[in-house]
Amino acid sequence: MRRLWLEQAFLPEGWASGVALDIDGSGRIAGLAANAPLADRETVPGCVLPGLPNLHSHGFQRAMSALAQRRRAAAEDFWSWRGVMYRTALALPPDDIAAVTAMAFMEMLERGFTAVAEFHYLHNDSAGAPYADPAELATRVIEAAAQTGIGLTLLPVLYSAAGPNRPPEPGQRRFITDLDGFLRLHAATAERLRALPGAVLGAAPHSLRAARAADVAALSGLLPEGPLHIHAAEQTGEVAEVEAALGARPVEFLLREAGVDARWCLIHATHMTAEETAGLARAGAVAGLCPITEADLGDGIFNGNAFIDAGGRFGVGTDSNVAIEAPAELRQLEWSQRLRDRRRLVLADSARDGGSTGAALYRAALAGGAQALAQPIGAIALGCRADLVSLRRAGTDLAALSAETRLDHYIFAGGARLVDHVYVAGRCLVREGRHDARAAIESRFAAALRRLEDAL
């Protein structure tokens, strides 16, 4: 039994002082008391938050964050970025995929995330042939999670085509499986994942572009357990292609044909009609927003106020991992709404936390993220895993600010440089902002990055 004492903690009912936690052998909170004496407990100083879940990542893309920022054509867009991503995917050997993914997971921990849903679509070797072990590359993701200690929900991806009624392109050869191959991969991944305590297995048809509509519709019946994620309506070109082929827009089709419910997380959901927005909220699915990547790729702006007004649930993800930082995702989400509407404090809830915009964003992303990852996380509460992020008070504005402005400072001003200690399942992984395994992870990553830049 681990015994912690949190100087200040953000509980579901609000900030509390002197919070004693008893943590059981599985890393869950088995005892909790506020205004408790320190006694012989290990102190977690500063302001302690539940760690934010990251509901969408492609770990290997961390390697290309700087390599896709050079303009080579008159007009660059999502589709030209995708070409760089395909070349990156083809160039990385399995060991480098593990190295790059470990770097991404370590940075998530150092910058405010404690769990991740990895949307994993690299399955074959560089020639496009399946490995002898279908879970060869999934195993590299599992290794990265084990090395860093992040909470993992692994989502093997079904990727079969270039578009509705279009065969795969050569650049996609590392991703391609048919439904039977995917189900074998899923079973092999389940086997490997048993070695990682607390890990969750879900599944992800890539999108209505890359997975056959009939397979997407069948998947929830074929795999009755675990979360289901899918990219949807990220780009207007994708919406048009799906509508032409299937006679319905992506979110419209998923709501009507795929039985979308609380098991599902629709990644992006950027381009929705008012009916789709209300329908997705009603379905109880999570909108998986990736505001920094969506800005980097020029995707568009999610209709946040209409979705939240309809009772919609959302969380945030780092997606391309171009700039990994938990508070910055929430800041970018709110700022995109302000820029579009020429208003301020758009996603705040005036009825809670004194109207704090930061607290409203953080609470929503905790709940939506926990649902999308299907892990017992998202709150400092009995039964939840002890995933904690402490923010430094000494030498920062947090030493002076009132409790109800703390999350506004973290999200809009202080950012991830405030992150001090980070715990997953009650175990301290990051001390004074630095992961315990940083030296080994960053040197292995640097070697992989040098090889990749030479290869591209």
238: contact with Zn ion by CB under 5 A = no
Phi, psi of 120 (to 5 degrees): -105, 110
Helices 213-222 and 179-193 cross at an angle (nearest 10°) of 40
- CB nearer to Zn ion: pick between 10 and 121: 121
Determine if residue 69 is left, alpha or beta; phi over 0 gives left, psi from -120 to 50 gives alpha, anything else beta. Answer: alpha
Active-site residue, selected from the candidate residues 319, 387, 408, 420: 319
| Nearest distance from C-beta of residue 23 to Zn ion, angstroms | 33
Residue nearest to Zn ion (CB): 319
Cβ burial, residue 148 (10 Å; 0-12/13-18/19+):
buried
Binding-site size for Zn ion (CB under 5 A) equals 1
Q: Return the number of the residue (121 or 412) whose C-beta is nearest Zn ion.
A: 121
Catalytic residue among 58, 206, 268, 271: 268
Q: Looking at beta carbons only, is 319 or 408 nearer to Zn ion?
A: 319
Judged by CB, which is closer to Zn ion: 332, or 357? 332
CB of 433 to Zn ion, least distance (A): 27
Site residues (CB under 5 A) for Zn ion, limited to 288-327: 319
In angstroms, the CA 44 to CA 421 distance is: 8
**Shortest Å distance, C-beta 238 to Zn ion:** 12
CB of 267 to Zn ion, least distance (A): 6
Residue type, 390: S
Is residue 319 part of the annotated active site? The answer reads yes
Residue that the structure tokens 């997606």 belong to: 319
Q: Verify whether residue 180 is a known catalytic residue.
A: no
CA–CA separation, 405 and 359 (whole Å): 8
For the CB of residue 183, give the shortest distance to Zn ion in the complex, in Å: 22
Residue 85 vs 430, nearer CB to Zn ion: 85
Q: How far apart are CA 294 and CA 128, in angstroms?
A: 29
List C-alpha distances in Å: 30 to 13, 390, 425, 449.
18, 20, 12, 43
> Under 8 Å CB-to-CB from 70, ≥6 apart: which residues?
none
Cβ-based nearer residue to Zn ion, 60 or 410: 60
Task: Report in angstroms how near the CB of residue 58 gets to Zn ion at its nearest.
Answer: 6
What is the per-residue binding string for Zn ion in 71-110, x denoting contact by CB under 5 A? ----------------------------------------
Instruction: Tell me how far apart the alpha carbons of residues 304 and 286 are, in angstroms, rounded to a whole number.
Output: 12
Taking CA 49 as the corner, what is the angle to CA 6 and CA 321, rounded to the nearest 5 degrees? 140
Q: Which of residues 318-377 bind Zn ion (CB under 5 A)?
A: 319
Instruction: Convert residues 2-41 into a mask of x (bound to Zn ion by CB under 5 A) and - (unbound).
Output: ----------------------------------------
Residues that bind Zn ion (CB under 5 A): 319
Annotated active-site positions, please?
Answer: 268, 319
